[in-house]
Structure 1
Amino acid sequence: MAPPDELIEEILLRLPPDEPSCLVRASLVCKPWRRIISHRRFRRRLHELHGRPPVLGFLRNSRKAVKDFAATTGSAFSLAVPGDYLALDYRHGRALLLDMVPGWGELVLWDPTTGDQERVPVPEAMWDNTFQGDNPTAAIVCAAAECDHRGCDGLF
């Protein structure tokens, strides 16, 4: 018989905060653990218990696509971007990527923790005003009502 989710959550909350790859590995154990770790309540409690999470690294662009993930900690954490995209922004635990598909292209809102993606066609006005140069820009803005932006999941 498996232990209750509440007990598993308490154990997972006590993984070392300076080793964020522990949570990534734990999320791969089984679907119930992944569901617990990716839940808004867990992220809020983790923040309350350990404070602000460490910056693990950043997505480094080459001229036309994400070149690699540059780690900023000694952790073994790594991140593989799901395609040839240009990284535009990263906030609220999500990356905003530009997929240069034929036509207008697509903006991809990607959650690296769950792998979820939301695709939106790039509006024509953005091409006219923003993407003319070599460094296109766009930003993620959370529209969730009463969001504290700590365990923000209002984007999906």
Structure 2
Amino acid sequence: MSSRRHLSAAAAPLDDENLLPEILLRLPPQPSSLPRASLVCKRWRSLASDPGFLRRFRIHHRRNPPLLGCFVQELHGISFLPALEAPNRVPPGRLSLEAAHLCRFRLLNCRHGFVLIYDGTRHQFLVWDPITGDQHHLAIPAPFDKAAGILINGAVLRAVGDIHHFRVVCIATRGLSMPDGEAALACVYSSETGMWGNLISTTIPSGLDSRLYYIFDITVSTVPMLVGHYLYWTLTDCSSIILQFDLEKQSLALIRMPDFAYEAHIMVIRADGGGLGFLFVADYTIQLWKRKISCNGVASWWLEKTIELDKLLSLNPKKGSIMVLGFAEENNMVFLRTFIGLFALQLQSLQFKKLSKTESISHCHPFESVYTAETDVGGEHGRSELLNNA
């Protein structure tokens, strides 16, 4: 009798209409979590597929999203490359983009569940949510549309806890052919207002190397990095200059890296403990550097860590070089293209996994998001695909 009372008391909390959502809300943000919970009973399934609960689930895990994989730029267009193992592995076709002129699309950025693409055919941005399938088309702001000799780049982001609105930062450089000299340009779009803001610019000093005048689209240097309320780009893949955009003050600035990093493969990153950092690959090693500001306001760079890739990944330096293709901000993982394929390396634990055997990938944009397969992409079909991989 006492045993029955104990079982009844243990089951009671799960019958509480207010408590059960709070329990399921705290399941790990892995793609298989909610589909598995939905198998318990009809009541759990109803809750795990409720649109309101799914919104809460995504917001709750916004600060610790899993790395679902990455979107890669290949010769034929843009495709999704999964990073997780079964049962959490998202089938590539579930996060696919169907559009005309896909080969004319240029992948710019993935952040906060959005993918930012430049549509060269229509000269506009496409902001795409692969989880819900929502697409937003934004005309390039007029100053960028009319200026000659510029190449468009950009970043997408949204505020913590906001799943309805987003911002796009359009950025470019204006080169030597312009009558008023060299400048970096920026403009911010808000989906809340549906408008582009004022044009923001800063002068590029004439003393800098002539190779700095374009943020170009064929190397990892175009990948924007968000650190606090700053966005960062490097101006070229062989420069020692970082372009900083302050989201709060709406201003642009230039930051120099050490001269020795000039010829290396550079990637701006969020350093350990926060703040601006960068890594570069040279002679099969990765060096991680962090920018520090003294009490007198003087900035300097400090070496934080060195990783010997040839020993870690068992690579033969004589067979090919390594290139940095991307960086996952929330999971602190760097993506490396080697002669045997694409690797994702976690910079703290040094754990790594091989994602692809191909060497043809030129761009790699990590996609960190909460995937809710049951309702948002494909209903019952999306749920069964994950569970069949278990």
TM range (shorter): 0.5 to 0.7
Deviation at 1:80, TM superposition (A): 1.9
| 1:140 positional shift | 0.9
Query: Would you say 1:58 and 2:70 are equivalent positions?
Result: yes
Instruction: Report matched runs for 1:79-118 at 5 Å.
Output: 79-83=94-98, 84=102, 85-100=105-120, 102-112=121-131, 115-118=132-135
Q: Quick one: structure 1 residues 129 and 9, their matched pair in 2 at CA, closer, same or farther if it must change by over 3 Å?
A: farther
SS in 2 for 1:56: strand
Deviation at residue 37 of structure 1 after TM alignment: 4.3
Instruction: Pick the structure with more helix per residue.
Output: 1
Q: 2:156 aligns to what?
A: 140
1:128 offset after TM fit, Å?
6.1
Change in 2 beyond 3 A, CA 1:30/1:86 = farther
TM-score (norm 1): 0.58
Does 2:26 match 1:10?
no
> How well do the aligned residues superpose, as a CA RMSD in angstroms?
4.0
Structure 2 SS opposite 1:9: helix
Kept in 1: contact 2:96–2:130 (CA 8 A): no
- Size of the aligned set, in residue pairs, is 136
1:76 aligned residue: 89
In the other structure, the counterpart of 1:33 is 49
Cα deviation, 1:103-156, whole Å, max 9, x if unaligned, reads: 4244233252xx2524223315445679966xx5311143xxxx4x2x331426
Partner of 2:10: none
Q: Is the 8 A contact 2:68 2:90 kept in 1?
A: yes
Matches within 5 A, 1:122-141: 122-123=139-140, 124-126=142-144, 137-141=153-157
Q: Distance in 2 between matches of 1:130 and 1:65?
A: 26
Are the equivalent residues in 2 in contact too, given 1:106–1:120 (CA < 8 A)? Answer: yes
TM-score (norm 2): 0.28
Q: Which has the higher strand share?
A: 2
Q: Deviations over 1:1-57 (max 9, x none)?
A: xx8874552353243x2x71224647x9669724134324x334446xxx7232221
Kindly indicate whether the alpha-carbon contact (under 8 Å) linking 1:66 and 1:87 is maintained by their aligned counterparts in 2: yes
Task: Render the CA deviation track for 1:52-106: whole Å, top value 9, x for unaligned.
Answer: 23222111111462133242x3232234223235432111222223344x44244
Q: Which has the larger radius of gyration?
A: 2
Alpha-carbon distance in 2 for matches of 1:21, 1:128: 44
Aligned partner letter, 2:49: W
Once residues 148 and 73 of structure 2 are traced to their aligned partners in structure 1, the CA distance between those partners, rounded to angstroms, is: 17
Q: Percent identity?
A: 20
Output the CA distance in 2 between the equivalents of 1:94 and 1:82: 13
Give structure 1 stretches of 5+ with no counterpart: none
- Cα 1:69–1:45, aligned 2, differ >3 Å: closer, same or farther? same
